[in-house]
Structure 1
Amino acid sequence: MRILLIEDDEMIGQSLQKALKSHAVNWVKDTFAGEHTLNLETYDLILLDLGLPKRSGLEYLIQLREKGMSTPVLIITARDSIEDRVKGLDCGADDYLLKPFAIEELEARIRVLTRRKQDRTDPIISYGDASLNPATFTLSYQGKTERLSVKAFNIMQTLLENPGVIYSRGQLEEKIYGWNEEVESNAVEVHIHTIRRKFGANIILNVRGVGYTFPKARANI
């Protein structure tokens, strides 16, 4: 796998290049160098720090998605607030990993993103006025189309394929995390909040004390 690492910390950059030796890792230290590199070569994954010089990682991520680039982006950052995580996912990140992290966890997340990318040839999933496109990781709902992160997409796919079925948080966690991958606290809530911010609160209903569902009644809208 070809990975573009955009990280300004010398120690972290060198450590990741060494640790990810099973992959072809190209390391640059700012987003302008990353932009130049992406114009010359194709990558399977981008590892992106947020606190970068010259231009922030978040600003660069927004520009990438506005240009239509669908390469998976895994944010690696020390910014640990829910607001930062939601903002990163809203701006087009496929996953969000907090520093410091274990290399084993990073490798697991890379494997998950790789599997998701390989599965993007699946047919469009539709129900009522909602449809998911695995080729672009986009959700269309009531005339609006937005790109989702990998985990948000998997949550929506689970609910859309089984309308009316109520899934607990634990059941949804099983859908979005790989085997032996550590589950982050409130991850399901963060991704559902992201989807609702894009499409409105009613796209996913919360059955108090039970879980979440995509209402079956929407099939007749």
Structure 2
Amino acid sequence: EDYYQIETSYNEAEDIRLLYVAATRAKNLLVISSLNHKSNKSNPWLPLLINITEKMNITVPEVKLLKTEAKEKEEKSLFNDYKEIQKECGQWMKDLSKSSCYEKKPTDFKDEEKHRKIATVDVGGTAWGSAVHRIFDYLIKEDPDEQLLSLHIEKALEKQEISLKRKEELAGIIQKFKKSDLYQRLKKAEFKYSEVPFTSAKAEMVKLTKITKLNKHKITVFLDILTIFPPLF
């Protein structure tokens, strides 16, 4: 029972995290689709629909196709299906006409080995995103000088097995961030929280918010690295 509750709590926290990341991608306006009947219970945006008022709703009328238009569409679909089946049958006939066995000489295998491709390592979005997250987190918490930052960039790339040729690219992202208004706010902030776990106690979050409101000259900044420069990742 305890393990079940832990697993349930983890899944709920993960759902909230994904919903938060998706919602914060909106720049000026967030449009959420929903239904007016019970099927809305399975809507992943349901937590955001609870507090939506009637004024915020935009009713979209159902579109009904004319009978003739629907019939033409159905006939076209059937004709395309027929052509596809005819094409497949023709291919089956070609395959059946081919010999099912063939001879191979030892020299043929040697030629294949010469043209064998070398396996490559994929360092796509996941590895690159982890490296960027690591550097942003280090920059926010430590505020290092340029030399230490350069060394940390190299370590982050090496850890993710990414070529050091991309060091300048990552350094460019950091420099762009350091010129942003958000970074200037971070430098002035007394408290900085990067990658805050969504399982943190609500009471603690409320307490920190109250401290911020009472002391107008000190700023508390909660920062989710994913929302800084989404297009760069």
Q: How high is the TM-score relative to the length of structure 2?
A: 0.19
Higher alpha-carbon Rg: 2
Q: Looking at secondary structure, tell me which structure has more helix per residue.
A: 2
Higher relative contact order (CA 8 A, sep 6+): 2
Q: Looking at secondary structure, tell me which structure has more strand per residue.
A: 1
